[in-house]
């Protein structure tokens, strides 16, 4: 039941991550586009920082979108869509 919601959230998250990465890259590097790994004119020193930042931004945005989607699904249905913690280990944190 959660799969369609998760799929839509992933697409939206990907779009948000792309926009966030592009803005962050422009702010940090002062360049319009991040270097591509297949661009022969780019050095490793140009490509690797861009790739690392790209991975961080996409990873964080994915985690935020996945968590928010799961929390909203739980609010709407009362069911947590992923792995649940054991009831006896619950410490009140969500």
Q: What pLDDT does 11 receive?
A: 92
Quick one: which of 92, 94, 10, 3 has its CA closest to 58?
10
What is the reported pTM? 0.78
Q: Which two tokens stand for residue 91?
A: 């410490």
- Cα 91 from chain centroid (whole Å): 27
SS3 25: helix
Q: Where are the beta strands (DSSP E) in 33-84?
A: none
Task: Domain ranges for the chain, please list them.
Answer: 44-77
Q: How much is the pLDDT for 82?
A: 86
What is the per-residue pLDDT for 89? 54
pLDDT tens for the 94 residues of the chain, in order: 888 888 888 999 999 999 999 999 999 999 889 999 999 999 999 999 999 999 999 999 999 999 999 999 999 999 999 888 887 555 555 5
């Amino acid at each position: 039941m959660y799969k369609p919601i998760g799929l839509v959230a992933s697409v939206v998250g990907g779009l948000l991550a792309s926009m966030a990465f592009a803005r962050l890259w422009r702010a940090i590097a002062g360049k319009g586009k991040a270097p591509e790994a297949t661009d022969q004119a780019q050095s490793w020193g140009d490509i690797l920082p861009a790739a690392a930042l790209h991975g961080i931004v996409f990873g964080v945005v994915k985690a935020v979108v996945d968590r928010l989607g799961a929390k909203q699904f739980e609010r709407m249905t009362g069911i947590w869509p992923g792995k649940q913690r054991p009831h006896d280990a619950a410490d009140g944190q969500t």
